[in-house]
Structure 1
Amino acid sequence: MTIKTLEDLFIHELSDVYSAEKQITRALPKMARAATDEKLKAAFQQHLEETQGQIERLDELVDKTEGVRIKRMKCHALEGLVEEAQEIIESVDAGPVRDAGLIGAAQKVEHYEIAAYGTLHALATQLGYQHAAQLLAQTLQEEKETDKKLTGIATKSA
């Protein structure tokens, strides 16, 4: 995809995050099964439900924003982050060390998503896509809350 305008960039970034969310829906159940801490398992399950809602929100954004259509592409950054999480599952024995590694892997994903949704929100605002900006802000807030929850689990304050 050639990117020449802010609209092109918005569609590219939106397509990328859509792919990322789809990949996350496949990775979270594996991470939940691999975790031993019950709060961590529950956090992964809750975030899976949130992610499914975020995909629905992206679908709504596309349906209600004139001229915006998601392109078929793969988010290579998320693919790499998912591979890192899989390596932790395969190479670290079940227990607190694996859980710590899974939290780190999940927070890398959250930070990627926070950056992606922050960028998309700014672009939607610049382009005058008010409804899209509201939907993106909602998802951005959820990602920040998930990151905070993971930090709490890691520090045992959740």
Structure 2
Amino acid sequence: MAVKTLEDLFIHELSDIYSAEKQLTKALPRLARASSNPELAKAFETHLEETQGQIERIDEVVSRLEIKLKRIKCAAMEGLVEEGKEVIEEIEKGPVRDAALIGGAQKVEHYEIASYGTLCALAKQLGYDDAVKLLKETLEEEKATDGKLTMLAESGGNQEAAQAGGKSK
């Protein structure tokens, strides 16, 4: 797609995050099953529910603005999902894998925070007030999820991993 206008860029970015969210709905159940910490598994399951709501919000933006999304695949999310698969394949189930899963999940959250922040700014610039409201709601959810992941890591997850695996010299 040739991006020539701010609206073209908005549609491209919205299409990209739509693809990212769809990919994430497939990855989150796998991450939940791969974690040994029940709280972490629950966090992945909760985020799956939120992600489905975020996709619905994107659909609402598309409907309200009467735009059509482009059929693209988000390469960034594809790479982040692949990293998650590698963690699952290469690290034995337990606290060390959980620490790696939290780190990977935070990479995803930071990507989504950047994407939704950009979309909010573009929508504001374009005067899409309804879209700004919906996109900001998702942005706040992404920030909250990132905070929950940080709390999981700091409340013992990474400490357990350090004790379980010892330190490499």
Note whether the superposition's TM-score is higher than 0.5: yes
- Length-normalised TM-score, structure 1: 0.98
Where 1:4 maps in the other structure, the secondary structure is coil
Query: Alpha-carbon deviations, 1:37-61, whole Å to 9, x = none?
Result: 0110010000000000000000011
State the match for 1:7 in structure 2. Answer: 7
State how many pairs are aligned: 157
- Partner in structure 1 of residue 40 of structure 2: 40
* Partner residue, 1:20: 20
Compute the RMSD of aligned alpha carbons.
1.1
SS of 2:106 mapped into structure 1: helix
Q: What is the CA deviation profile of residues 76-132 of structure 1, one whole-angstrom value per residue up to 9, with x for unaligned ones?
A: 000000000100000000000000000001000000000000000000000000000
In structure 2, the residue matched to 1:103 is 102
Distance 1:152 1:56 in 2: 28
Q: Secondary structure at the match of 1:40?
A: helix
Q: Does 1:93 align with 2:92?
A: yes
**Structure 2: stretches of 5+ with no match in the other structure:** 158-169
Structure whose CA Rg is larger: 2
Q: Secondary structure at the match of 2:155?
A: coil
The secondary structure found in structure 2 opposite 1:156 is helix
How far residue 69 of structure 1 moved from its aligned partner, in angstroms, is 1.3
Which residue in the other structure is 2:128 paired with? Answer: 129
Partner-residue secondary structure (3-state), 2:99: helix
In the alignment, which residue of structure 1 is the partner of 2:146?
147
What is the one-letter code of the residue matched to 2:145?
A: T
Gaps of 5+ in 1: none
Q: CA deviation at 1:26?
A: 0.2
Q: Could you tell me the percent identity over the aligned residues?
A: 66
Consecutive aligned runs of 4 or more in structure 1 exceeding 2 Å deviation: none
Distance in 2 (CA, whole Å) between partners of 1:157 and 1:16 is 35
Q: Tell me, what secondary structure is at the counterpart of 2:142?
A: helix
Quote the residue 1:30 is aligned against: 30
Q: 1:128 to 1:152 in 2, by over 3 A?
A: same
Letter of the structure 2 residue corresponding to residue 70 of structure 1: L
CA distance in 1, matches of 2:155, 2:68: 42
